[in-house]
Amino acid sequence: MTDAGLLAAKLVLIAATVLTASMVAARWGHAAGGWLAGLPMIGGPIVGLLMVDVGAEHGRQACLATLRCHPALVAYLVSYAWAARRWSWPACLGLALGVFFTLGGVLIAVDAPQWLVVLMSVLAVVAGTGALARLSTGLGSAGRVALPRAELWARVGAAVLMAALVIGGSSTLPLALAGLLLAVPISGLILPSFTLPRHGAAATVALLRGFTVGQIGFSAFFIVLLALLPRVHGGLAWLLAMLAAAAMPVLVQRVRAAAVRAT
Backbone angles phi, psi at 136, to 5 degrees: -75, -15
Of 10, 12, 8, 32, give the one whose Cα is nearest residue 22: 32
How far is the C-alpha of 186 from the C-alpha of 232, rounded, in Å? 31
Per-residue DSSP letters for 190-254? HHHHHHHHHH-HHHHHHHHHHHHHHHHHHHHHHHHHHHHTTTS-HHHHHHHHHHHHHHHHHHHHH
Are residues 102 and 66 in contact, defined by beta-carbon separation less than 8 angstroms? no
Q: Can you give the pLDDT at residue 143?
A: 61
Rg, Å, the chain Cα set: 18
Average pLDDT of adjacent 10-residue blocks, the chain of 263 residues: 72 92 90 93 86 83 90 96 96 96 92 94 96 85 74 92 78 62 83 93 94 95 93 92 94 84 81
pLDDT of residue 52: 82
Neighbours of 177 (CB within 10 A): 16
Identity at 62, one-letter amino acid code: A
pTM passes above 0.95: no
- pLDDT of the residue at 165: 82
pLDDT at 147: 83
How far apart, in Å, do the first and last CA atoms of the chain sit? Answer: 53
